[in-house]
Amino acid sequence: MARWQTRPLQAPEDPKSGVTHGRGIACVDYEGGNGYAALIADITVDPETGIVRPTRFVVAVDCGPISNPDGLRNQTEGGILQGMSRALVEEVTWDDRRITSTDWATYKSLHLDYEVPPIEMTFVAPEGVPALGAGETAITVVPAAIGNAIFAATGARLRELPFTPERVKAALRSRS
Give the pLDDT confidence score for residue 135 in this predicted structure: 79
Instruction: Specify if 101 maps to a domain.
Output: yes
Burial class (CB in 10 A: 0-12, 13-18, 19+), 148: buried
Pairing relationship of beta strands 20-29 and 36-46 according to DSSP bridges: antiparallel
Per-residue pLDDT of the chain (176 residues; tens, 9 = 90+): 888 877 655 666 676 778 999 999 999 999 989 999 999 999 999 999 999 999 999 999 999 999 999 999 999 999 999 999 999 999 999 999 999 999 988 998 888 888 899 999 999 988 899 989 887 899 999 999 999 999 999 999 999 999 999 999 999 999 86
Domain contains 91:
yes
Instruction: Please state the three-class secondary structure of the chain as a single string.
Output: CCCCCCCCCCCCECCCCCCEEEEEEEEEECCCCCCEEEEEEEEEEECCCCEEEEEEEEEEEECCCCCCHHHHHHHHHHHHHHHHHHHHCCCCCECCCCECCCCCCCCCCCCCCCCCCCEEEEEECCCCCCCCCCCCHHHHHHHHHHHHHHHHHHCCCCCCCCCCHHHHHHHHHHCC
Whether residue 109 lies inside any domain: the answer is yes
Count other C-beta atoms under 10 Å from residue 16's C-beta. 6
The length of the chain in residues reads 176
CATH of the domain at 150: 3.30.365.10
Cis peptide before 162 (omega within 30 of 0): yes
Q: What is the pLDDT of residue 2?
A: 84
Q: Which domain holds residue 125?
A: 20-155
Q: Is residue 9 part of a domain?
A: no
Cβ–Cβ under 8 Å, residues 34 and 134: no
Domain count, the chain: 1
For residue 46, is it within any domain? yes
- 52: in domain: yes
Domain annotation covers residue 4: no
Query: Considering the domain boundaries, does residue 63 fall inside one?
Result: yes
How far apart CA 167 and CA 152 sit, in angstroms, is: 16
- In this structure, are residues 129 and 64 in contact, taking their beta carbons and an 8 Å threshold? yes
CB within 8 Å of 90: residues ≥ 6 apart: 107, 108, 109, 161, 162
Q: Please give the positions annotated as active site.
A: 136
